[in-house]
Amino acid sequence: MIIIKLIINIFLNFKIYFSCLLNGNILGKCVSKKSVENEITFCDNYISDFICVPYFNNIWNEWTNKTIDNFLEKKLVNNIEKEFLKELSFDTYEMPLINNIGCLNAYFQFICKKNFPLCNYENNTSYNICKSICENFVGKCKTYNSDLCKNYPINDCRN
């Protein structure tokens, strides 16, 4: 009887920690934004109160909240630098990043919400980001193709 209770307890704990999904397929856990505020500093202004984060494990122990946040910051800054150089090199280029802070904010929001999705803390499920977040990014940045948003849901999502 004790072994059965132990197995049930292990299963329940496994379910609690491994039920939200990152990018639709990586197992994670739902936590309050406040509980990881020292680890997620770049995306902090763009994520929800409850987010799905990677569950620490020995196989990928370097893939932490801070590592992901730092990676996103470096990746976004690198992409922005490339875009700035492109915008400065062409007289006829629209320059959405230089002329539009809304584009930068929409870009950060889209990438951060995609990598730290909203989740329901009570039942440990994550939500897809809505098509409207992607469309806001594409609409404000204008240089991106609207096909980017075709796979994001209109329903069954939360921002």
What residues does each domain of the chain span?
A: 2-149
The Cα–Cα gap between 108 and 103 comes to 9
pLDDT band at 23 (very low <50, low <70, confident <90, very high): low
pLDDT for 5 equals 43
The Cα–Cα gap between 110 and 47 comes to 10
The arithmetic mean of pLDDT across residues 22-37, rounded, is 81
Q: Which of 100, 19, 31 is nearest to 64 (CA)?
A: 31
C-alpha pair distances (Å), 154 with each of 10, 129, 150, 157, 158 = 36, 9, 10, 7, 9
Dump pLDDT digits (tens) for 8-20: 444 444 444 446 7
Q: Which of 17, 24, 31, 16 is nearest to 128 (CA)?
A: 24
- Cβ contact 121:48 at 8 Å: no
pLDDT for 138 equals 86
pLDDT for 35 equals 92
Dump pLDDT digits (tens) for 51-108: 988 876 555 667 788 888 898 899 888 887 877 777 666 654 555 555 678 888 998 8
pLDDT for 50 equals 92
